[in-house]
Amino acid sequence: MKRILSVVAILMLAASLLPVKGQAGLRGAYDPITIGDPLIKAKFSPSLRGGNTRGAGSASSAKLENWIAFVAGSQVFGFESTGEIWAQVNIDQAFVRGFAPVPLEVDPTAAVSYIDPAWSKDGKWLAYVQTDNFVSSASIYVQQFAIGGNPLAGGEHGDKLGSPILIANGAGGKHHRHPAWNANHTQIAYDSDQFGSSIDLWTVNVNLDETAHTGSVDELSRTRHQIGLEGDPGILNGKAEFKPAYSPDGTKIAFVTNRFGAFQIVILNPTSSGLGETTVLPETNPAPITHDNPSWSSDGQSLYYDAPSNEDAANPQDIWKLDLPTGQKCGISVDLAGDTDPDVSQYINPTREGILFNYFMFISQASGFGVQVWRGEWVQNCIPPLPMSVVVSPSSMSVGDTVGQFFPGYISADMSFPPATIAAGYVCRAANQPNASGLPEPTKEGVRVRRSIVPSPTMVGGLTKSTRESGDCTDMDMLALTGLAHMPCFDADPNVDAVNNDFGNIGDYKCVINSDGLNHHLIANFNKRTIANRLIGLGLVDRVVALPVHAYSNRVGRQFLGFGYIRINTKSRGGAGSIVAMEQNFPNPFNPVTKFSFAINKPGNASVRVFNTRGELVRTIVNQWFPQGQHEVSWDGKTASGGRAPSGIYFIKTDSNGGTDMIKAVMAK
């Protein structure tokens, strides 16, 4: 019991410090917002609620909307396709969780479906679509909500004020979708099939009285926008224009259309009559792939949207940022799970060196959390990295130092920041500043250190070693983080050390603080096997190779890049056969599936086989020809006969053209 209480006390201490010291997303620049809540269904259509904010809008205190709305599938079994609109705190990952979603529009019988939430810029009015489980028709409503308090200070989401206001009536099988507000909440744009099979853009003026909690629609202003095609009704009725998004000044509307084949984003210069309008393509030569869900930056100079990664239709979606004046664009990749549906914040925040950016909400399946709402920004992906100095030790090793060894040791990367990076506002240590050590440091942002999700730092894309393998790293800047000189390293290995297990594995790091308190070195260790696997797969043996080391800052995920130099020697091995290098499997221990990779420096046949501790063959995973390079393989824990292998230690061996390597894997049930 005492041990459990001590664990709880340490966790409470860390939780009390993290909001101040960390303020770091799960992925540096990215935060999952809706994980851990009682809504087990997927989340869609995030919409930021303005007007109710926290933070000063500075590099150390970002200005964020306190609340978002999103759609979740009904909790009623058998009616999962029925939509419900909920509000969720726009919480930082570093804060302790426990904020339950608040229902905004939910039918407990699942007969009515609520979708497409859109907050007005002042956060007082929520537009949404009301339909049924079969989407037989769809109407647009607006509901006023009171501005609630700061949820981090105990405030609640606002109550409904007045009754819903009907904006577009879907009676008779019409479908009005995707409402969007202009900046001063006097006009709503939406798309509709009111005139048959065509989906067209419409706008209508609204008069809202926040004091009386009422509103009305100016029917004379309701306009079907002809999009410059009024002279060719055949084209007009055969194509779709939908998902409108107002520019911040209200003079333009971005929308999605299939007029050019693949869905593309077009910008409309609307007229009050819907006639004589002009449109422009934000890209002069867009790739013939789907561009979807446009959202404007707060200065009106950029469009965010989702499109396939690398503009390859076979890839999952990424968020993209397009600079309208220059036509330059950048894919904001979170991972390979698919990221869609951005909603850009109206508030601007700076990095330490003064780069201005907007946070945005989006939908992602990242990290295996399911379809959730995330928060991100573009700086980590789209701004050139700041320089970082890296010294690698050892600077030379032979293949024999790694191949065939279960404990091959590690490569150490000693990182430090040059004066230009320090002057930009960053410090090469795990903690932000000021710190609990009492050393005379300026306020700066530290380096994100984590092995999971988007790891930092990485060498040749490889993760740092586990602390369990490497022994002591107890002075991993704990003085700065907590004021305590020593605290156990974070480690996710399931063992009796509950403190390490509960904190989670952030890797093998050590922070060296100079006596002046101003200069720092962050030392990270990387598994030799991982590095050798990558370099052998690339054919980079018997030569000096620059190893790229990437790291990211705590709050914004600002990227740092340095190069350490190493040489892998193979002369001592002799012969003309292949060099084989395996990378340790992950996860390990595993159940039931584990993945690993092997690299060969020459093309040829390669066999990957699993043996038990008695040397008996359990399973041949692959036995085929492979090109030179690095190849990923998985084992599902089954034997050659298709049965489940028992728990225990297994040896996975790769042979190719006279070369061989082996790793040890543990199956735990």
Mean pLDDT across the stretch 194-198?
Answer: 81
Q: Is the peptide bond before 179 cis (omega within 30 degrees of 0)?
A: no
| Cβ atoms of 73 and 41 closer than 8 Å | yes
Mean pLDDT across the stretch 546-572?
Answer: 87
Could you tell me the two tokens for 612?
A: 């038990």
What is the rounded CA–CA span in Å between residue 469 and residue 584? 13
**Contacting residues for 217 by C-beta, under 8 A, at least 6 apart:** 165, 166, 167, 204, 205, 206, 207
Residue 575 is classified by DSSP as: S
Mean pLDDT across the stretch 399-417?
Answer: 77
- Per-residue pLDDT band for 268 (boundaries 50, 70, 90) equals very high
Q: How far is CA 397 from the centre of its chain?
A: 36
Where residue 327 falls (left for φ over 0; alpha for ψ -120 to 50; beta otherwise) is left
Q: Is the peptide bond before 151 cis (omega within 30 degrees of 0)?
A: no
Three-class SS state of 98: coil
Per-residue 3-state assignment (H helix, E strand, C coil) for 210-278: CCCCEEEEEEEEEEEECCCCCCCHHHHHHCEEEEEEECCCCCCEEEEECCCCCCEEEEEECCCCCCCCE
pLDDT at 278 over 70: yes
Percent over 70 (pLDDT), the chain: 81
Could you tell me the two tokens for 94?
A: 């570093």
pLDDT tens-digit readout, 104-138: 999 999 999 999 999 999 999 999 999 998 889 99
Question: What structural domains does the chain harbor?
Answer: 30-376 (2.120.10.30), 386-569 (no CATH), 575-667 (2.60.40.2550)
Residue type, 271: T
Which tops the pLDDT comparison, 587 or 466? Answer: 587
Closest Cα to residue 248, out of 205, 329, 170, 303? 303
Residue 510, CB-side half-sphere exposure with 13 Å CA sphere: 15
Could you tell me the two tokens for 283?
A: 């890209």
Beta bridge partners of 206: 217
Which residues in 510-528 are b (16+ Cβ under 10 Å) and which e? Answer: bbebeeebebbbbbbbbbb
Could you tell me the two tokens for 319?
A: 């968020």
**Contacting residues for 94 by C-beta, under 8 A, at least 6 apart:** 18, 19, 22, 23, 24, 25
- Per-residue pLDDT band for 25 (boundaries 50, 70, 90) equals low
| Cβ atoms of 144 and 207 closer than 8 Å | no
| Cβ atoms of 192 and 175 closer than 8 Å | yes
Helix H or strand E encompassing 73: strand 64-73
Residue type, 543: R
Mean pLDDT across the stretch 324-341?
Answer: 90
pLDDT of 407 reads 61
Tell me what the pLDDT averaged over the chain comes to.
83
Residue 158 is classified by DSSP as: P
| Long-range contacts (CB closer than 8 Å, 24 or more residues apart) made by 497-506 | 498/3, 498/4, 498/7, 499/6, 499/7, 499/10, 500/467, 502/7, 502/11, 503/11, 503/14, 504/452, 505/451, 505/452, 505/466, 505/467, 506/449, 506/450, 506/451, 506/452
Mean pLDDT across the stretch 606-617?
Answer: 88
β strands within 570-647, DSSP E: 580-586, 594-600, 604-612, 617-626, 629-635
pLDDT of 505 reads 43
- Per-residue pLDDT band for 630 (boundaries 50, 70, 90) equals confident
Nearest 5°: phi and psi at 132? -130, 180
Question: β-pairing, 317-323 with 329-332?
Answer: antiparallel
For residue 572, count CB atoms less than 10 angstroms from its CB and return exposed for 0-12, middle for 13-18, buried for 19 or more: exposed
pLDDT of 20 reads 29
What is the rounded CA–CA span in Å between residue 128 and residue 328? 33
What is the rounded CA–CA span in Å between residue 85 and residue 118? 10
Helix H or strand E encompassing 534: helix 528-537
| Cβ atoms of 363 and 342 closer than 8 Å | no
Three-class SS state of 381: helix
Could you tell me the two tokens for 553?
A: 């800052």
What is the rounded CA–CA span in Å between residue 429 and residue 436? 13
| DSSP string of 290-325, one letter each residue | --EEEEE-TTSSEEEEEEEGGG-TTSPEEEEEEETT
Three-class SS state of 145: strand
For tokens 């390669």, the residue is 606
Question: β-pairing, 648-656 with 604-612?
Answer: antiparallel
Closest Cα to residue 447, out of 425, 432, 462? 432
Could you tell me the two tokens for 171?
A: 């009676």
Percent over 90 (pLDDT), the chain: 46
pLDDT of 93 reads 62
pLDDT tens-digit readout, 575-585: 456 788 888 88
Residue type, 3: R
pLDDT at 234 over 90: no
Three-class SS state of 639: coil
Mean pLDDT across the stretch 435-447?
Answer: 66
Q: How far is CA 601 from the centre of its chain?
A: 34
Beta bridge partners of 204: 188
| Cβ atoms of 375 and 25 closer than 8 Å | yes
- Per-residue pLDDT band for 333 (boundaries 50, 70, 90) equals confident
pLDDT of 263 reads 94
pLDDT at 349 over 60: yes
Mean pLDDT across the stretch 233-244?
Answer: 76
Could you tell me the two tokens for 557?
A: 């995920």
pLDDT of 96 reads 52
pLDDT at 45 over 90: yes
Nearest 5°: phi and psi at 598? -130, 150
- Helix (H) and strand (E) counts in the chain: 8, 41
Q: How far is CA 375 from the centre of its chain?
A: 7
Nearest 5°: phi and psi at 570? -120, 0
What is the rounded CA–CA span in Å between residue 427 and residue 59? 14
